[in-house]
Amino acid sequence: MTAVGPPAPPAPGRTAAAGRSVTTTARGSLFGLAGSAANALFGFVLVAVVTHGLGARGAGAVFTGVAAFTILSNALKLGADTALVRFVSRDLELSGGAGVPALLRTAVWPTLLASGAGAAVLLCSPGLAGWLLPDLDPGQAAALLRLFAVFLPVTTVALVLLGATRGYGSVVPFVGVEQIGKPALRVLLAVPLVLLAPSVAGLSAAWLAPGVLGAVAAWVSLRRSRRTHPGTAQPPSQTREFWSFAGPRAVSSVFDITAVWIGVILLSVLGTGTEAGIYTAIGRLITAGTLLQLAIRLAVAPQISRLLAGGDEDGAHRLHRLSTRWIALFSWPVFVILAAFPGTVLSLFGPGFAGGAAGLLALAVACLVNVGVGNAQTVILMAGRSVWNLVVAGAAFVVQLASGVWLVPRYGVLGAAVSWGLAIVVDNGASALLARYRLGFRTVDRGYVCAAVITVVAVALPVFALRTFCGDRVPGALLGIVLAIGAFGAAVWRYRLPLGVGEFFGALRKRGSENSR
Please report, as a single letter, which amino acid is at residue 52. Answer: H
Dist CA 367 CA 291 (whole Å): 12
Alpha helices (runs of H) in 271-385, residue ranges in sequence order: 273-289, 291-309, 313-340, 342-346, 357-372, 376-382
Distances (CA, A) of 261 to 10, 66, 276, 322, 485: 45, 9, 10, 31, 32
pLDDT in tens, the chain (517 residues): 333 333 334 444 454 444 455 555 555 556 666 777 787 788 778 877 887 777 767 777 787 788 788 888 888 999 999 899 889 988 887 777 788 888 899 999 999 999 999 999 888 877 777 677 766 777 777 888 888 889 999 999 999 999 999 888 777 888 889 888 999 999 999 888 888 877 888 888 889 999 999 999 999 999 998 888 776 666 666 788 889 998 898 888 888 877 877 888 788 778 777 788 788 888 888 887 887 788 788 778 888 888 888 788 888 888 888 888 888 998 999 999 999 999 999 888 777 788 889 999 999 999 999 999 988 999 999 888 999 999 999 999 999 999 999 999 989 999 999 999 999 999 999 999 999 999 999 888 888 999 999 999 999 999 999 999 888 888 889 999 999 999 999 998 888 888 877 665 544 444 444 333 3
Q: State the pTM of this model.
A: 0.74
What local confidence, expressed as pLDDT, does residue 28 receive?
A: 54
Dist CA 229 CA 257 (whole Å): 32
Are 273 and 56 a contacting pair, CB within 8 Å? Answer: yes
Element (H, E) at 211: helix 210-228
HEC per residue, 262-300: HHHHHHHHHCCHHHHHHHHHHHHHHHHHCHHHHHHHHHH
Beta strands (DSSP E) in 405-513 are none
**Which residues have CB under 8 Å from 173's CB, separation 6+?**
162, 165, 166, 217, 218, 221, 222
Are 131 and 68 a contacting pair, CB within 8 Å? Answer: no
What local confidence, expressed as pLDDT, does residue 196 receive?
A: 83
Burial 377-404 (b: 16+ CB within 10 A, else e): bbbbbbbbbbbbbbebbbebbebbbebb
